[in-house]
Amino acid sequence: MPELPEVEVICQGLLIHLLDRTITSVHCSGKQLRATVPCKEMQTKLSGKRICDLSRRAKYLILTTECGAAIIFHLGMTGNMGIFDVKSTIKKHDHVRWTLDNNTELRFNDPRRFGAVHFISTENAAEEIHHFFANTGPEPFSRTCSVAYLTKRAAPRKIAIKKFIMDNHVIAGIGNIYANETLFRAGIHPERPSCSLSKAEWKLLLSTIRKTLKHAIACGGSTISDFRGASGDGGYFQMNFRIYGKAGQNCLNCGGVIKKINIGGRSSFFCPTCQPEKV
């Protein structure tokens, strides 16, 4: 599930359960994720350490501890994290477990194993984290992510606008679903060349991105309030899809038929009337 809103909701949900808890041990399934999980190193360096913070950057979660060490999580396509009782049954794809000092565990579950668990143990963790995100685009809600910035980045690019806003080096956190949803809401055809958008269109698109992501966070947050033992996959945001997965259905704006095309290997949905090819 994890695009920016889902990762943000998971972050907020987990924070309450993790803050000021002490990690007592770390266990791994031994399966390879996107990168090898440094299980032994985490076990050695995190045991007995208190958790100071959990935050989000792009689609990543960052957990920091009192000793300065940090874990950077990425949920890939199918990853999920939750807090469980230590005695509860370990599920098939629970690949990493961080046992806490109150008989609960943080569990990282990921069937498809496109996710990743990076460990930063140096004293200069802050600097390394900064380095880790050096090539990541600005957060959509930040001042840096302005119309001027996006226009400038888009100027030399002819790729489809949908691919462009999904590029996390340009802007962080937008995946296939929210790319589809925001372009529909802004009335912009997903195959428009990035460089062809006017300043007014960029202004509309950016505000639509912000509004849509914010709304999705609010919806997710309202339903997934307790992560303890929960699967965490019951987000309310799905109710708000207007275009994603709706090929052949009628557009909510104009009643026309929603089309599905392939852009860069990803399913793309649009309304030919509300999102015209040329302006």
Partner DNA sequence: CAAGTTACCTGACGGC
Partner DNA sequence: TGCCGTCAGGTAACTT
The catalytic residue positions are 2-3, 59, 266
d(CA 193, CA 198) in angstroms, rounded, equals 11
Are residues 253 and 165 in contact, defined by beta-carbon separation less than 8 angstroms? Answer: no
Among 52, 159, 230, 261, binds DNA (CB under 7 A): 159
Among 87, 148, 156, 239, binds DNA (CB under 7 A): 156
Are residues 265 and 164 in contact, defined by beta-carbon separation less than 8 angstroms? Answer: no
242 binds DNA (CB under 7 A): no
d(CA 112, CA 6) in angstroms, rounded, equals 18
Neighbour count for residue 196 (Cβ, 10 Å): 14
* Strands, sheet with 104-109, edge to edge from the N-terminal-most edge strand: 23-28, 94-100, 104-109, 80-85
Q: Which of residues 120-149 bind DNA (CB under 7 A)?
A: none
234 binds DNA (CB under 7 A): no
Q: Which of residues 160-219 bind DNA (CB under 7 A)?
A: 163, 166, 168, 175-177, 194
Question: Minimal distance in Å, beta carbon 69 to DNA?
Answer: 21
Q: Of 264 and 276, which CB lies nearer to DNA in the complex structure?
A: 264
Contact flags string 30-69 toward DNA, x per CB under 7 A: --x-x-----------------------xx----------
Cα-only R_g, the chain: 20
Q: Of 121 and 176, which CB lies nearer to DNA in the complex structure?
A: 176
Single out the segment in contact with DNA by CB under 7 A; choices: 39-47, 49-57, 118-126, 154-162.
154-162
Single out the segment in contact with DNA by CB under 7 A; choices: 22-30, 38-46, 117-125, 155-163.
155-163
> Where does this chain bind DNA (CB under 7 A)?
1-3, 6, 32, 34, 58-59, 74, 76-78, 92-93, 111-114, 156-159, 163, 166, 168, 175-177, 194, 235, 238, 264-267
